[in-house]
Structure formats: structure tokens, C-alpha cells
Amino acid sequence: MIGLQIDLELADGSKHLLDITWGVAYRWQQSHPNTTIIKAFEENRVDEMLDVAWEAAKTHGLNPKPMHQWVDEIREVKFVSPKAPTT
């Protein structure tokens, strides 16, 4: 895990905390070579935020519909950077 997550809430009320895995980051970066995931969220780039959320949902087995249909099911998407665990 990279240490980043997507907090996703769907219109049906379901909530999902999805890890941005190396695979998610790699596939997303291939289609967004001129920016970063963090920059997309810092600058509130909606299309890029939704792209990474869709990729994470797909990777985690939520089986999202094609992007153009899935976006209508989203209530909220937030970027989460969890704190390092303390021991």
C-alpha cells in the first residue's frame, strides 16, 4: 500500500474506504502522465479524482459500471492520507 486512500460514498448510502494500491496508482498514472494523484485532489480536479476513485473501486472488487454511468452513483469522494501508525 502507498499509504493513501479514497473515502467513497455512493448514492445508495454505502461507504467504502479504498486503498490506493501500487496497481491503482500505476494504471491511473498511465492515463494522467502530466500530474499526480495528490495534485489532482489538492487542486480539486473532479475528472481526475473520479478516475482514481473508479480505478480503486474496480481494483477492490466493487465492480463499478463503465465510468460514464458510475459517476451518477457517487455522493462524495475524498482523498485520505492516513497517519503513520504509532507504536
Report DSSP letters for 50-80, one per residue.
HHHHHHHHHHTT-----HHHHGGGEEEEEEE
In a domain, 40, yes or no: yes
In a domain, 86, yes or no: no
* Residue 86: Cβ-neighbour burial (10 angstroms; 0-12, 13-18, 19+): exposed
How many structural domains are present in the chain?
1
Separation CA 70–CA 62 (nearest Å): 11
pTM: predicted TM-score of the whole model, two decimal places: 0.84
Three cell numbers written together for 81 = 492520507
What are 4-55's pLDDT values in tens digits? 899 999 999 999 999 999 999 999 999 999 988 888 888 888 888 899 999 9
pLDDT band at 64 (very low <50, low <70, confident <90, very high): confident
Quick check: is 12 in a domain? yes
Q: Is residue 87 part of a domain?
A: no
9 lies in a domain? Answer: yes
Residue 85 covered by a domain: no
* Domain with 25 in it: 5-80
